[in-house]
Amino acid sequence: MIVESSPAEVRRIVRAARQRGLIVGCVPTMGALHQGHVSLIESARTDCDFVAVTLFVNPTQFGPNEDFSRYPRTLDADLEMCRTAGADLVFTPPVSSMYSESAQTTVRVTKLAEFLEGAHRPGHFDGVSTVVTKLFNITEPDRAYFGQKDFQQQLIIRQMVTDLNQPVEIVTCPIVREADGLAMSSRNRYLSSAERSHALQLSQALKLAENLAVDSALMPPEIAQAMKDHLNSAGGIDVQYAVIVDSATLQPLAERSDSAVALIAAKVGATRLIDNQILRFR
């Protein structure tokens, strides 16, 4: 496995692989890897001939009061996980290689980024779209792998790739959960023991929505309210949103639909968590 911090050298290595006719897969991450990330790398390994993983804590997607400075950085452990999962190349650029002091360009997706996470984290998706565009320009992948847990993010990246005619297939991989249902996240390590217990209510609320979609005649707004009621009654959770929306447009659903996803964002203590569940109505 090659570990490289130079964008130019990464581009050279990937182009050499492409010249050999290899299909290139990219897994963009911010490091602090867990089994969810490993599942992305393993999916890329199955589908592609050459797998590049990027480890870069991107400053432009953090707001002024967010956790950029304390975001976990575990490079040695991350590299070992990449090696075990079958990565061929790991790109670990310094901030100075990704953003010069004179940088003036931002990539912005509009409608899909204006609500939900976009409303609660202004500018976040501009940072995501910009850095992913840069990472695609450097690694030139045929396919790129993202997790379903960041549902709005993967939808925005799909829109960006379409709008900019980027020749990259976006592959969304299922959420990986702990045995007790908690969605794996790098930020879970912030949780105290008591907070982690509270955090389980997010997946339980989504399970409630999943069951109601199948076992009741309730409409999406009523099921969304049931999720909110569950979370609010549990205690220890500051709900930011709990909604059922169209999985392509993220617009709220009034009627039962074959294109539905339940999305939750909440703070547990000082830690902000998100989770979701695709719904299948009876």
- Over the stretch 162-190, which tens digit does the pLDDT of each residue have? 999 999 999 999 999 999 999 999 999 99
CB count, 10 Å around CB of 223?
A: 26
Maximum distance among all alpha carbons in the chain?
58
pLDDT confidence of residue 6: 98
Structure tokens at 170: 């976006």
245, 263 contact by CB (below 8 A): yes
Integer Cα distance of 98 and 131 in angstroms = 8
pLDDT confidence of residue 128: 98
**pLDDT string in tens for the chain (282-residue length):** 999 999 999 999 999 999 999 999 999 999 999 999 999 999 999 999 999 999 999 999 999 989 899 999 999 999 999 999 999 999 999 999 999 999 999 999 999 999 999 999 999 999 999 999 999 999 999 999 999 999 999 999 999 999 999 999 999 999 999 999 999 999 999 999 999 999 999 999 999 999 999 999 999 999 999 999 999 999 899 999 999 999 999 999 999 999 999 999 999 999 999 999 999 998
Structure tokens at 8: 């130019």
pLDDT confidence of residue 166: 98
Helix ranges (H only) for the chain are 7-19, 35-47, 75-85, 95-98, 117-120, 124-139, 151-163, 193-215, 220-234
Integer Cα distance of 120 and 240 in angstroms = 8
pTM: 0.96
Give the residue from 207, 216, 214 showing the smallest Cα distance to 262.
207
pLDDT confidence of residue 282: 82
Domain architecture of the chain: domains with CATH: 2-173 (3.40.50.620), 186-277 (3.30.1300.10)
Integer Cα distance of 251 and 94 in angstroms = 37
Fill in the amino acid letter for 19: Q
89, 28 contact by CB (below 8 A): no
pLDDT confidence of residue 200: 97
| DSSP for residue 187 | G
Look-up of token digits 């290595």: 13
Integer Cα distance of 202 and 265 in angstroms = 8
From its phi and psi, is residue 188 left (phi > 0), alpha (psi between -120 and 50) or beta? alpha
Integer Cα distance of 85 and 1 in angstroms = 11
Structure tokens at 34: 């867990």
Fill in the amino acid letter for 183: A
The rounded radius of gyration (Å) of the Cα atoms in the chain is 19
Cα distances (Å, whole numbers) of residue 77 to 55, 84, 159, 186, 195? 12, 11, 33, 13, 25
Catalytic residues: 37
With 0-12 / 13-18 / 19 or more C-beta atoms within 10 angstroms meaning exposed / middle / buried, residue 112 is buried
pLDDT confidence of residue 65: 85
Give the residue from 239, 148, 131 showing the smallest Cα distance to 185.
148
- Over the stretch 205-246, which tens digit does the pLDDT of each residue have? 999 999 999 999 999 999 999 999 999 999 899 999 999 999
